[in-house]
Amino acid sequence: MGTETDGLHILRDRRFLTFGAREGLASDATTTVVDDRSGTLWVGTMGSGLNALPLPQGSAADGSFPGKKAIWTYTVQDGLVSNVILSLAAAPNGDLWVGTPDGLNRIRHGSIATFTSADGPPDDFIRSLLVDADGSLWVGTRHGLAHWTNPGRADAQMRIYTQTSGLGSDLVGAMARDTRGNLWVATLSALSRLRGGAIANFTTASGLSSDVVTSLLPRPDGTLLIGTENHGLDVWDGRRFFAVAGSGLSNTTIRTVHAGKSRIPPAIAELLAERLGAEELTPREFDVLEQIVHGKSNKEIGTELDISEATVKTHVNSLLGKLGVTDRTQAATAAIRRGIVPFESPTKPKP
């Protein structure tokens, strides 16, 4: 399990083992986690690139992890389009797809290729990724959903789904393919189901606890677990939705529903905030938030904006409250994930 401030937490034998920057990760601020067919665990971070951990079966059972020298790190210096990793997906052929705020990367045998909206996706801000068994790639963005067959090849084809074509909303979050072959897509306004070329949208009027779905997990029995914003966990049993009652959940906002080996990418846990976000921030608060995203201290922000450090602190406290977060790291994470502040990598990839 990846966390935004404390690295990875791996549950083994009813106890959590922590693996973070101290153990060799590029950052404790992890955003998404996936394992590929070789058993490598890929860990995306918020601003420090991508880590690859070779983890043989059972290697962490006794608390032993790979040493720092065994962890590979990919950054913009190696060809990534951004050091902010929003989503990951492992393909059957061994390719790893990496979604960032500035485009899409494909890692194949250590070589990194870059794809942007110029190659077909409706947006460079890649919120979520899903690879089907046939190797085709689904790409979730702020401006629609792209289905890319034969991705990266000369004979590639791409189809774009938007609200105009029947999707619940252009803003796409979590995705999952269930055992019945349905593709479920969480959007800002509805949970969409793509089946046989037809799109159906489900909302609270259909029985969902919330229109805002934050995470999806298909189960082998054909049911679908649905994490919602502020209304706990729902289940689709193939015919209807029902809420999971008496689950003992202390927080009704389900950030990620997860089982098995890998976390469903991405942890787009704050779709509801898209309705708030930048509209509630004052112009000066937006300026301050933009500087926070780029790692500036209060003193540096004050110098950049020509205001006192005390005034910066006032703006920081105000914007933390409006974003519903408690510290600067969470504010930067929320700003990038929600698209409030576009992240521009300070260092561009090598040609």
Structural domains in the chain plus CATH codes = 8-271 (2.130.10.10), 277-337 (1.10.10.10)
State pLDDT tens for residues 14-28: 555 666 677 677 777
Please classify residue 172 by burial: count the beta carbons closer than 10 Å to its beta carbon, then call 0-12 exposed, 13-18 middle and 19+ buried. Answer: buried
* Percent of the chain whose pLDDT exceeds 90: 32
pLDDT at 23: 67
Tokens of 340: 């409030």
State pLDDT tens for residues 294-345: 878 899 999 999 999 999 999 998 888 787 777 787 788 777 766 676 544 3
Please choose, from the candidates 136, 133, 125, the residue with its C-alpha nearest in 3D space to the C-alpha of residue 268: 125
Higher pLDDT, 146 or 210: 146
Distance CA 82, CA 126 (A): 11
Tokens of 124: 């460079």
Residues paired with 160 in a beta bridge: 146
State pLDDT tens for residues 26-62: 777 777 888 888 878 888 888 888 988 875 444 443 4
Q: What is the mean pLDDT of residues 258-272?
A: 33
State pLDDT tens for residues 95-115: 999 999 999 999 998 899 999
Amino acid at 48: S
For residue 47, give the DSSP letter. Answer: S
Q: For residues 69-80, b (16+ Cβ closer than 10 Å) or e, as one string?
A: eebbbbbbebbb
